């Protein structure tokens, strides 16, 4: 790994925000500061569309710093950089050391230069040529082998001439997206499955701050099922900048549905009441929408007809980022964000323990509304469930 004096962070969409751009940049800087605060003191400042992160404590682990930055939405590229004075001898020596500190043997490289300081005597192509020659000589002297490839290099050495000179030989992909907190708030219906954590991650990537709602049905769902959801919330938390997890007791409502409603309507009525509870919690927190992991046709409750019936029971928007994805695509993201192994633990949630043998796949809204009239004081039960909810702050 190359020597790291500081880290240069590059962002993408934020640069297109016009007059609102400073607000997005400041939100990103705030998120970076809070993410890195447990590691020690850092200087985080912005200049020329780049955020400079510099450790102020000698004992700070820069590898852990980079791992944390990978989970900050809004960062497109993470560039560990070596800093040197703005002179060609120093730049060439530093660039050569950076490459020698990497796994370079048998690989190709290219040098690119960005000369922000136009007073520097050499132009960008000239700087790149001289630095490239210095790298070749240093590798040859070390007994190694490296070649130039200006089209598809294995190693891209970037020289930036700013207040000082910065050498970057390793570019790490960031999470992209927009800074969390820049896009409003929403409530995520978080189950113990694969889909809903992915949906939450995708919405957070667009800058949305999340609360989460989980429906727990003891003794039919175990404490391990609840612990599993808490673990999923913790996995999401570095991306979402923390969240409040509402654990809603759902047993009494679920049993009332089973006792009084047609069996083939159980799942859709259950989903409708979950949405009503989640909406009330969302409104109390100032959230502007609900988020679910539903995908068209994946199960009986996710047909177009079923989703229509589910949507009709709430007034706020319902966001379904997985709606057009197949299970393989969703699973791929789940693995990428580190949620998959937790999601597949065999602890069932309340959505799966009372699934009817023959669920209605094309329910009609009027039939569902008529069936719900058989429920016992459903408004009172909904309010009781909200009042008795456990709130867990995930940091």
Which pLDDT tens digit goes with each residue over 322-352? Answer: 999 999 999 999 999 999 999 999 877 656 6
Residues in the chain: 395
Predicted confidence (pLDDT) at residue 68 exceeds the cutoff of 70: yes
Distances (CA, A) of 154 to 79, 109, 168: 16, 6, 14
In a 10 Å sphere around its CB, with 0-12 CB exposed, 13-18 middle and 19+ buried, how is residue 219 labelled? exposed
pTM: 0.89
Percent of the chain topping pLDDT 70: 97
| Helices 304-311/266-284 angle, 10° precision | 40
| Measured distance CA(225)–CA(218) in Å, rounded | 10
Mean pLDDT of 202-221: 94
Q: Domains (ranges, CATH) in the chain?
A: 6-173 (3.30.2130.30), 185-394 (3.40.50.620)
356: pLDDT strictly greater than 80: no
The encoded tokens of residue 290 equal 């609900």
- Exposed/middle/buried for residue 257 (C-beta within 10 Å: 0-12, 13-18, 19+): buried
Mean pLDDT value of segment 74-94:
94
302-311 residue pLDDT tens? 899 999 999 9
- Residues 6 or more apart in contact with residue 202 via CB below 8 angstroms: 321, 322, 333
């Amino acid at each position: 790994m190359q020597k790291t004096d500081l880290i240069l962070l590059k962002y993408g969409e934020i640069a297109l925000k016009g007059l609102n751009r400073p607000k997005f940049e400041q939100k990103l800087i705030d998120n970076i500061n809070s993410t890195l605060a447990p590691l020690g003191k850092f200087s985080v400042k912005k200049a020329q569309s780049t955020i400079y992160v510099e450790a102020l404590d000698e004992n700070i682990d820069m590898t852990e710093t980079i791992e944390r930055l990978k989970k900050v939405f809004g960062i497109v590229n993470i560039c560990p950089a070596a800093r040197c004075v703005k002179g060609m001898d120093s730049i060439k020596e530093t660039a050569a050391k950076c490459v020698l500190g990497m796994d370079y043997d048998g690989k190709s490289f290219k040098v690119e230069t960005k000369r922000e300081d136009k007073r520097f005597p050499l132009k960008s192509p000239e700087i790149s040529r001289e630095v490239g020659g210095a790298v070749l000589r240093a590798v040859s002297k070390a007994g190694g082998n490296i070649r130039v490839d200006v089209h598809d290099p294995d190693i891209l050495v970037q020289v930036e001439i700013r207040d000082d000179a910065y050498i970057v030989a390793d570019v790490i992909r960031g999470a992209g997206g927009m800074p969390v907190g820049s896009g409003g708030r929403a409530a995520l219906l978080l189950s113990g499955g694969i889909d809903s954590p992915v949906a939450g991650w995708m919405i957070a990537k667009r800058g949305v701050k999340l609360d989460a709602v989980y429906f727990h049905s003891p003794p039919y769902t175990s404490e391990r099922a609840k612990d599993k959801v808490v673990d999923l919330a913790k996995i999401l938390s570095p991306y979402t900048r923390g969240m409040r997890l509402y654990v809603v007791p759902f047993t009494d409502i679920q049993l009332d549905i089973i006792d009084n409603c047609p069996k083939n309507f159980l799942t859709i009525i259950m989903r409708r009441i979950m949405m009503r509870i989640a909406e009330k919690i969302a409104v109390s927190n100032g959230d502007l929408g609900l988020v679910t992991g539903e995908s068209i046709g994946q199960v009986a409750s996710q047909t177009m007809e079923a989703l229509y019936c589910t949507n009709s029971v709430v007034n706020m928007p319902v966001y379904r980022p997985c709606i057009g994805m197949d299970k393989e695509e969703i699973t791929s993201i789940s693995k990428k964000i580190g949620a998959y192994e937790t999601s597949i633990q065999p602890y069932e949630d309340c959505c799966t323990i009372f699934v009817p043998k023959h669920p209605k796949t094309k329910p009609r809204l009027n039939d569902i509304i008529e069936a719900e009239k058989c429920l016992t004081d459903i408004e009172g039960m909904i309010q009781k469930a909200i009042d008795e909810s456990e709130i867990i702050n995930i940091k």
